[in-house]
Amino acid sequence: MNPLAELTDRHPDIRIDVHVGDGDGAERRLADDVLDGLTRPFKEIPPKHFYDSRGSKLFERICELPEYYPTRTEMAILEASAPAIVDAVGPVELVELGSGATAKARLLLDAFNGGARRYVPVDVSERMVREAAVALVDEYEGMEIHGVVGDFQRHLDRVPPPVAGERRLVALLGGTIGNFPPGTRRSLLRDAAALLGPDDAFLLGTDLVKDPAIIEAAYNDAQGVTAEFNRNVLHVMNRELGADFDPDAFDHVAFFDRRREWVEMRLRAQRPMTVRVADLDLQVEFAAGEELRTEISAKFTRERLERDYAAAGLELRGWYTDPQELFAVTLAGRAR
């Protein structure tokens, strides 16, 4: 058994439920997504497959880039507004969907002023959930940690029921919601709403619509880190599915679609290519200039957010932003 698992399994205040194993469901889902996505007339792979360990490291580097404002802006909003957010809700519990690292949870939990009774990190990465538990359990005395290793698109019903008679805050931060197409986005909000009692609250991080030049710079950084991150999905398919993509033969493309109000990232074939995906017994042709869509990243206006919330049975209750209104963290509750 690995030392991290031993530590977390021994601790009286930690419980971890594992619903996805590294390499069981995860791999099959990649295979299914690739089989669907590469046989369509317009090729597409969902962005969740960027994040193997190399991809996660590249994303961390993106967050440090001067052009990439979302992460540091959201952190600044939370630093300034966590006390107001927590005050407005009065929770004893934080459920964090797609929790990842602990920086944002800490800002929120600190604002609980010692009143945090339980933290529920939900993430597909078992390592991240266990590391978060170990890091936080001794820092917040009297707080229990109930980690859920799962995909928040599939396993939200595994989130434990609320602490009886108390309020909870359910958070989905990082702008992750923007990665989902509009219909899926609403059904995800609906699933999150199902975790809320009448007085509970949902906390959502969303990037905002702004000057397209600012947005496009964030996805076309001068150092080419985002381009490497984008091509990483080809490395993932090569390794996990025995594909023979030549990542250097694809150009990074990222632009803001003004009508849809989202960024699209694509990989553009420099020349005609035939790619084999050995494990799927699949052969795929690319024409010169043909593009594979790898990500959408929606940017929101307050109006669009309110419409999405309404469609999910939620209503906007709090709006927290930075002075330049680059990014918003919003509170919502079940519509009354």
294 near ligand AVJ (CB under 6 A): no
With contacts defined by CB under 6 A, how many residues of the chain interact with ligand AVJ?
Answer: 11
For 300, counting Cβ atoms within 10 Å of its Cβ (0-12 exposed, 13-18 middle, 19+ buried), the class is buried
Tell me how far, at minimum, the Cβ of 57 lies from ligand AVJ, in Å. 13
DSSP notation for 105-137? HHHHHHHTTT---EEEEEES-HHHHHHHHHHHH
* Site string (43-82) toward ligand AVJ, x via CB under 6 A: -------------------x-------x------------
- Side chain identity, residue 310: A
Helix (H, G, I), strand (E, B) or coil at 317: strand
Contacts with ligand AVJ in 226-245 (CB under 6 A)?
Answer: 226
166's torsion region: left (phi>0), alpha (psi -120 to 50) or beta?
Answer: beta
Residue at shortest CB range from ligand AVJ? 297
Of 8, 178, 280, 309, which one interacts with ligand AVJ (CB under 6 A)? Answer: 178
Handedness of CA 20, 74, 315, 144 (dihedral sign): positive
Rounded distance, CA 119 to CA 116, Å? 7
User: Closer CB to ligand AVJ, residue 93 or residue 291?
Assistant: 291
Cβ-based nearer residue to ligand AVJ, 112 or 219: 219
| Of residues 133, 174, 142, 150, the one with CA closest to residue 6 | 133
Which lies closer to ligand AVJ via its Cβ, residue 140 or residue 219?
A: 219
Structure tokens at 12: 């009286």
- Is residue 179 a contact residue for ligand AVJ (CB under 6 A)? yes
H helix runs in the chain, sequence order? 3-10, 25-37, 53-64, 70-89, 103-111, 126-137, 182-193, 212-218, 225-241, 302-311
Asked if residue 176 binds ligand AVJ (CB under 6 A), the reply is yes
Q: Does 174 bind ligand AVJ (CB under 6 A)?
A: yes
- 152 scored as a contact of ligand AVJ (CB under 6 A): no
Write down the least CB distance from residue 67 to ligand AVJ, Å. 10
Please identify, among the stretches 80-88, 148-156, 171-179, 313-321, the one whose residues bind ligand AVJ according to the rule CB under 6 A: 171-179
Check residue 206 for interaction with ligand AVJ (CB under 6 A).
no
Contacting positions for ligand AVJ (CB under 6 A): 62, 70, 174-176, 178-179, 219, 226, 295, 297
